[in-house]
């Protein structure tokens, strides 16, 4: 079996850009069968010297994203001396930008990651929503930007994830008559909490459809109208006790409900859109 061609990726940051570009190009050749070797956060010429030696030993090529001129020039020089193909993945676009904006680049490694704070906030919020979904750990409520409460099938989870993509940390708590809400729910500021309600008939329809999708009988107590009325009555009492705003989600899309919540928080100066 033929060995895969090796490509050495060299970057003075993480190297994500180089990897994506190499994989995209490699897909056009032999189905992308290349072995990628990463060298991230390269900051010394000695490291570059070592990488060039390895590439020569393995008869490999180098693809790099080095924005520090001295490191880039050193890699170009050593690669040329050893007869190794070294491709600067950023230089052509960097030159085009320089001409367009009539200024030179900052030449600072990892600048994109430092600037893209919104990306990391979004990832953190999504991880938070997953971790504190469906009342998994009530200790997280005090760290949430928003807490959604309601009976089962009032769109708490999809709404939490949608708001997480807007960079808000959202936890949600199901309200069930047989299970007392966590004590933490009554200790956090009430303006963090949003109650979600729904009409009994709409909830009955949703739950029946849910049972059908699961291959279960639609006569289960879960979809029983009397049971639903009890749950909604219990949830309403909890919401009144907290004193939180309440939204009827009966005929609303996730995006519509999210817009209402964000408008409420923005009005109080607690949401930055």
Give the Cα separation of 154 and 144 in Å (integer): 19
Contact (CB, 8 A) for 78 and 49: yes
Cα-atom radius of gyration of the chain, to the nearest Å? Answer: 28
List the binding residues for ADP: 150-157
Q: What angle do CA 10, 13, 17 make, to 5 degrees?
A: 70
Q: What angle do CA 9, 14, 18 make, to 5 degrees?
A: 40
Give the Cα separation of 67 and 13 in Å (integer): 9
List the binding residues: 150-157
Contact (CB, 8 A) for 6 and 60: yes
Q: Please give the order of strands across the beta sheet that includes 170-174.
A: 170-174, 146-150, 193-197, 246-248
Which residues lie across from 61 on neighbouring strands? 7
Residue 114 CB contacts under 8 Å (≥ 6 apart), including other chains: none
In three-state form (DSSP H/G/I as H, E/B as E, the rest C), the secondary structure along 124-184 is HHHHHHHHCHHHCCHHHHHHCCEEEEECCCCCHHHHHHHHHCCCCCEEEEECECCECCCHH
Give the Cα separation of 133 and 127 in Å (integer): 10
């Amino acid at each position: 079996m033929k060995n895969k061609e090796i490509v050495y990726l060299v970057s003075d940051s993480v190297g994500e850009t180089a990897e994506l570009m190499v994989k995209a190009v490699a897909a056009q050749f032999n189905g992308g069968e290349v072995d990628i070797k990463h060298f991230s956060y390269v900051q010394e010429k000695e490291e570059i010297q070592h990488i060039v030696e390895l590439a020569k030993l393995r008869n490999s090529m180098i693809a790099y994203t080095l924005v520090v001129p001295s490191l880039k020039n050193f890699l170009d020089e050593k690669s040329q001396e050893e007869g190794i193909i070294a491709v600067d993945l950023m230089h052509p676009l960097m030159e085009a930008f320089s001409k367009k904006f009539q200024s030179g680049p900052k030449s600072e490694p990892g600048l994109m990651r430092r600037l893209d704070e919104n990306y990391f906030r979004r990832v953190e919020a999504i991880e938070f929503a997953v971790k504190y979904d469906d009342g998994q750990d009530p200790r997280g409520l005090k760290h949430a930007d928003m807490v959604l409460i309601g009976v089962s099938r009032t769109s708490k989870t999809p709404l939490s994830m949608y708001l997480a993509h807007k960079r808000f940390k959202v936890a949600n708590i199901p309200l069930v008559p047989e299970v007392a809400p966590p004590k933490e729910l009554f200790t956090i500021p009430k303006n963090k909490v949003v109650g979600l309600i729904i009409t009994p008939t709409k909830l009955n329809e949703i739950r029946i459809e849910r049972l059908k999708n699961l291959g279960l009988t639609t006569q289960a107590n879960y979809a029983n109208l009397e049971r639903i009325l009890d749950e909604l009555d219990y949830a309403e009492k909890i919401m009144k006790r907290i004193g939180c705003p309440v939204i009827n989600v009966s005929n609303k899309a996730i995006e519509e409900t999210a817009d209402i919540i964000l408008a409420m928080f923005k009005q109080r100066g607690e949401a930055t859109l």
